[in-house]
Structure 1
Amino acid sequence: MSKAEATKAHIIHQAALLFNQRGYAGSSIADIMQATGLKKGGIYNHFKSKDEIALQAFDYAASLVQKIVWDAVKQKTDAISRLKALMQVHLNYIDNPPLAGGCPIMNTAIESDDAYPILRDRAQQAMESWRNLIIRIVQKGIKKQEIKPDIDAEIVASFLISAIEGAIMMSKLYQDAIHLKRVISSLSDYIESLAYG
């Protein structure tokens, strides 16, 4: 990696941490300068705008989460175990988050809503990737007779994601992991109820 590539990677990493904790609107270029130890010119040598930094920082943050999820899922061989592994990944966030500040997809989705459509679209793409993973796991499980044939994969994806993200929000708000633990325990029972036979 060249010095320029290392500097750009450093900016992206520090901006991802900053945006995930303070939000896009709550982080200025001065904050990025302070976090990176670079002057404004050093940052703008690599990025055209704060928006460009935000998009690349979000992609970086989302890729950290996706790697953790994929690593957990690929170790399992059946659909039920894979779905449970997805839930367990989020429980592990409590002690070992990929980035300080919680789930970057949820944080970005909430903040960007109508104010930052480019970021909202990027968060939606990341969420779509997560939804599609769950849908594929369920559909493959149905084909392999691991999951009941009348299960709607789209509903399972919506339910699991909504429950997990809501539990993360409550745990973060109350600074108490019990909310996430309760939901994951209930989701584990729900996932078992999908099993064929």
Structure 2
Amino acid sequence: MLTKAEKTKQFILEMAVPLYNEKGISGVNIDDVLAATKLTKGCLYGHFENKDDLSEQVIDFMLKKISSRIYLAVSVGKTAKAKIYAFMDFYKDPIDTYISGGCPIFNTAIEADNSYPLIKKKVAVLIKEGQEALTGILKEGIANGEFSSKIDPAGFAFKMVAAIEGGIVMCRTLESTKPMQGLIKSLKKELEQQ
């Protein structure tokens, strides 16, 4: 059971996540978080040393939240094929995303690339772990006869994630989910045909 202080900190993190995903680390200021939480500066600084500390903890929380949700979606699948399809389907609506503002992994990676080296390393670890997990599922599917042995598991995992992440950005820019539907259908068809 969480203490009152832990509940307050959790609340701050929850309320700050969409702000950070939509505006980015450099775009969010303390006043944004105060407005979203309706808390005082004193309360906020009782839980976080400064904006950098807040930002780092929000990003950590956000990345854990999205990766847990993806893992949950994928783990529902009973077969390798169902797991891979569940991963793809998780991204089927790039406009109305689980955390508003698009994919937090991609958004954070883009902003952290040149400006936040420690956060960039955290995102890199998450991406690497995700790629390894997807590669493992594809290998399992090949071993089970669900996928062709012609598939390069690591190559397809990379291609799938790169295509989906790029698709999210393009669909959000075009304000249309339709291209993502076509992309996912095409990726599934490619798996089926090999």
TM-score, normalised via structure 2 length: 0.91
Instruction: State the partner residue of 2:45.
Output: 44
User: How far is 1:3 from its partner?
Assistant: 1.0
Q: Deviations over 1:47-68 (max 9, x none)?
A: 1232222222223222332233
Corresponding residue number in structure 2 for 1:101: 101
Distance 1:4 1:70 in 2: 29
Question: Once the two structures are aligned, what percentage of the paired residues are identical?
Answer: 32
* Structure 2 runs not aligned, ≥5 long: none
Give, in whole Å, the separation in 1 of the partners of 2:56 and 2:139. Answer: 32
In the TM superposition, residue 100 of structure 1 has moved relative to its aligned partner by 1.0
Q: Match of 1:54, as an amino acid?
A: S
Shift of 1:13: 0.9
Q: Give 1:164 deviation, angstroms.
A: 0.2
Q: Is the 2:93–2:180 contact (alpha carbons within 8 Å) kept by the matching residues of 1?
A: no
What is the TM-score when the length of structure 1 is the normalising length?
0.90
Aligned residues: 193
Aligned to 2:137: 137
Q: What secondary structure is seen at the aligned counterpart in 2 of 1:91?
A: coil
Offset at residue 108 of structure 1 (A):
0.6
Residue 11 (1) aligns with residue 19 (2): no
Contact 2:109/2:123 (8 A) holds in 1: yes
Q: Tell me, in whole angstroms, the C-alpha distance in 2 between the residues paired with 1:151 and 1:105.
A: 26
Taking the aligned partners of 2:144 and 2:21, their CA distance within structure 1 comes to 39
Q: CA deviation at 1:27?
A: 0.6
Summarize the Cα distance change of 1:157–1:87 in structure 2 as closer, same or farther, 3 Å threshold.
same
Residue pairs, 1:98-177, within 5 angstroms: 98-177=98-177
Matches within 5 A, 1:51-130: 51-92=52-93, 94-95=95-96, 97-130=97-130
- The separation in 2 between residues aligned to 1:159 and 1:134, in whole angstroms, is 11
Unaligned 5+ segments in structure 1 are none
**Aligned partner letter, 2:41:** K
- For 1:41, give the aligned amino acid: G
Stretch moving more, 27-36 or 54-63: 54-63
Q: In the TM superposition, what is the alpha-carbon distance from 1:34 to its structure 2 partner?
A: 1.7
Q: Say what the alpha-carbon RMSD is for the aligned residues.
A: 1.7
Between the aligned partners of 1:22 and 1:163, the Cα distance in structure 2 is 23
